[in-house]
């Protein structure tokens, strides 16, 4: 018989607070059209994007994360010293080591929490949320800060007509803490590595270092293949998350999908047959695709504008490079 004591975590976990940060510079489609042969009408019809935010040199991955984290911690009604874990989901922190989570933890005054980065593309926030829930329930942390942050403008090829208009920058954060009842449902997550080439970095860093790459690495994708996968396969995953939580689409108040593309969002709503009463996040129109940051940013905006309210039941789903995905049902803070 094991001599190890059982963990003394919380019975359940919940999102206690949310915060977001969008860079001050707003970039309209007209700026994108300076480097690609397209039109504002074409960009809007294909993606639903009218503007996006691009970070200044001072708005680093860490700086944006700190701003979003401060708001999330305040919204949760706790102090930075009460943060026991910091998880940062990002693909655009260019320093391989140390993890940017450690810098963020120190600069927000969190003390000595567990701190690490994860790379799960546009599903990164969902992965981080799941890990945070596990830490709280297992008992290794009481309050975990989960951050999704990207500076995708650094990885955008402005001459690539298929992707130049898609990406934006920003940071979103939530605090996950203990709960007496289920407020973060089971996660349905996974990967389809056989499709990894559909969204990828153009060249590895070492190829660029060796001087054999003509351009700085950027994100590229096979748009039609990604669209079909997201619409048909991710609708199935979203339904599985509803089933795992023991609810139907009629029980939902809010739907917060990864803000990849307006057409994908609208198609998923139709495939899932969501009632008209369900509020759907469409933050992509003014924020663009911010990968790991898109779900918490969209969540923060819905709550800040009153389009969603505390206690609402929301389905969140992220999907992207890998190809990876993660979906769960949560109670909004």
Give me the catalytic one of 53, 93, 258, 261.
258
Other residues' Cβ atoms within 10 Å of the Cβ of residue 161: 14
Give me the catalytic one of 29, 53, 93, 122.
122
- For residue 289, indicate whether it is catalytic: yes
Partners of 138 in the β-ladder: none
**Strands in the chain per DSSP E:** 12-21, 25-28, 51-54, 85-89, 114-118, 144-151, 169-179, 188-191, 199-201, 219-221, 254-257, 279-280, 313-320, 324-331
User: CA 64, CA 70: separation in Å to the nearest integer?
Assistant: 10
Say which residue the tokens 């979003």 belong to: 68
Residues in CB range of 243: below 8 A, 6 or more apart: none
Selection from 113, 133, 134, 121 nearest residue 89 by Cα = 121
Residues in CB range of 160: below 8 A, 6 or more apart: 36, 218, 220
Say which residue the tokens 């397209």 belong to: 38
Tokens linked to 286: 């003014």
Selection from 318, 237, 292, 289 nearest residue 119 by Cα = 292
Which positions are annotated as active-site residues? 122, 258, 289
């Amino acid at each position: 018989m094991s001599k190890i004591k059982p963990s003394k975590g919380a019975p359940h976990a919940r999102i206690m607070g949310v915060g977001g940060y969008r860079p001050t510079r707003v970039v309209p489609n007209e700026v994108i059209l300076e480097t690609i042969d397209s039109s504002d009408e074409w960009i809007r019809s294909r993606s639903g994007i009218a503007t996006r935010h691009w970070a200044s040199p001072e708005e680093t991955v860490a700086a944006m994360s700190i701003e979003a984290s401060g708001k999330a911690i305040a919204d949760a009604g706790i102090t930075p010293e009460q943060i026991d874990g910091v998880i940062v989901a990002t693909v655009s922190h260019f320093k391989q080591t140390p993890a940017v989570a450690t810098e963020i933890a120190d600069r927000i005054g969190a003390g000595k929490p567990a701190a690490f980065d994860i790379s799960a593309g546009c599903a990164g926030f969902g992965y981080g949320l799941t890990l945070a829930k596990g830490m709280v329930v297992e008992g290794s942390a009481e309050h975990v800060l989960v951050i999704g942050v990207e500076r995708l403008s650094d990885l955008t090829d402005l001459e690539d007509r298929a992707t130049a208009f898609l990406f934006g920058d920003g940071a979103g954060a939530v605090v996950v803490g203990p709960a007496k009842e289920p407020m973060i449902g089971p996660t349905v997550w996974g990967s389809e590595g056989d499709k990894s080439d559909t969204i990828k970095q153009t060249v590895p860093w070492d190829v660029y270092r060796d001087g054999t790459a003509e351009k700085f690495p950027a994100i590229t994708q096979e748009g039609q293949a990604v669209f079909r996968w997201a619409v048909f396969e991710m609708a199935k995953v979203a339904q599985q998350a509803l089933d795992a939580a023991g609810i139907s689409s009629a029980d939902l108040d809010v739907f917060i999908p990864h803000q990849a593309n307006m057409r994908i969002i609208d198609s998923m709503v139709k495939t899932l047959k969501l009632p008209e009463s369900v509020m759907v996040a469409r933050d992509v129109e003014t924020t663009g695709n911010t990968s790991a940051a898109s779900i918490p940013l969209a969540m923060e905006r819905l709550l800040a504008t009153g389009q969603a309210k505390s206690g609402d039941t929301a389905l969140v789903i992220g999907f992207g490079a890998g190809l990876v995905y993660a979906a769960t049902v949560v109670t909004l803070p």
